Amino acid sequence: MGEDPLALETRRRLYAAVERTPGLSAREIQRSAGTAWGETAYHLERLALSGLLHRERGSHQDFYFCAKLPLGDRTLLRVARSAATRRILVTLLETSDLTLGEITARSELSVSRGSIHLRRLLATGIVGSGRREQLRTFAVVDPPRIARILVAYRESYTDRWVERLVDTFGELFPP
């Protein structure tokens, strides 16, 4: 039998950081766990090889998740690491079928920034599009699921946009 992958304190700290805040990059995990870079990289690799962590390669960095987290949740949590993306999601959860201009005005983002993040949400299937007259509109594909996941991990976000969601739909999220 192999050794327990969580037998070492460093691995337990790294695993706990990922469990608390899924979708972190290795550098973010390093800061959260208070470990040195080489130590972090080595032990994250060991945790991934053991099957406890799942590493998703992004365009510029890797993101880590507990292996028990379903793929759809991992995708949402990875893109939701961006504050701009969270603003768009909360805006669309509050009011569906908005145009790009309406989304950016309500989420306090520039049109170009909102467009970039909206394209990512469309590419992942979290948001879909439709039409209102000649305008393209956008809506969250599975609002209850997206809201539930965002609220479940709201403590891991540094901004308070998800709290707006809790304030608006508080009866759905009892303490």
Pick the CATH number of 9-68 from 3.40.50.150, 3.40.50.720, 1.10.10.10, 1.20.1260.10: 1.10.10.10
Contact 23, 77 (CB under 8 A): yes
pLDDT, averaged across the chain: 87
Pick the CATH number of 76-172 from 3.40.50.300, 2.160.20.10, 1.10.10.10, 1.20.1560.10: 1.10.10.10
Question: Higher pLDDT residue, 5 or 60?
Answer: 5
Question: Higher pLDDT residue, 170 or 86?
Answer: 86
Determine the Cα–Cα distance for residues 139 and 44; give it in Å rounded to an integer. Answer: 36
Structure tokens, 167: 């304030």
Global pTM reads: 0.77
Could you say which DSSP state residue 51 is in?
Answer: T
Residue 19: pLDDT above 80? yes
Work out the average pLDDT over 152-174.
67
40-73 pLDDT per residue, tens: 999 999 999 999 999 988 778 888 999 998 888 8
Contact 157, 86 (CB under 8 A): yes
Residue 173: pLDDT above 60? no
Structure tokens, 23: 């979708």
Q: Which amino acid is at 119?
A: R
Question: Where in the chain are the domains?
Answer: 9-68, 76-172
68-123 pLDDT per residue, tens: 988 888 888 888 888 899 899 999 999 999 999 999 999 999 999 999 999 999 99
